[in-house]
Amino acid sequence: MPAPSSRGRTKARCSGLGRKGGGRATGTATHDHDPAPGSILVVATLDPRLAPVIGRLAGLVAETGSPLSHLAILAREHGVATVVGVPDARLRFASGTRLLVDGATGLVELLDASPSTAAGGGT
């Protein structure tokens, strides 16, 4: 799964299963359904109740869902980097970690870990 990087940090890379879009973004992962502006929201499913927060996100990563779901389409229309079908995304990408989300390729990459995640903890 994760492999050590040249600086001793753990890098995790994974790709979504479905089609994606919305460009490329970096930001801090959050599992909070009221995210701060510029966050990357990591969720289990594409819940339509998240529609009001789409405009403030840098990225959206979902474990399940369809790239043709209303929320995925709405996110892409707002230019939010979106990747769906990322198994165990909430476990792989804890709140507080920095992520790169590439909606064009479906890549989600852990850029650096928060101190609790790097030590094996997490949220």
Q: How many CB atoms lie within 10 A of CB 6?
A: 6
pLDDT at 68: 81
CATH number at 20-118: 3.50.30.10
Active site residue 70: yes
* Per-domain residue ranges of the chain: 20-118
pLDDT at 120: 37
Q: What is the model's pTM?
A: 0.77
Q: In 39-62, which positions are buried (b, 16+ CB within 10 angstroms) versus exposed (e)? A: bbbbbeebeeebeebbeebbbbbb
- Per-residue pLDDT 10s for the chain (123 aa) are 444 443 433 345 555 544 456 789 999 999 999 999 999 999 999 988 999 999 999 999 999 988 888 888 899 899 999 999 999 999 999 999 999 999 988 899 999 865 444 333 343
> Out of 31, 33, 70, 78, which one is annotated catalytic?
70
pLDDT at 118: 38
The owner of tokens 């990563």 is: 61
What ranges in 1-123 are assigned the alpha helix state H? 70-77, 89-92, 115-118
By three-state DSSP, how is residue 72 classified?
helix
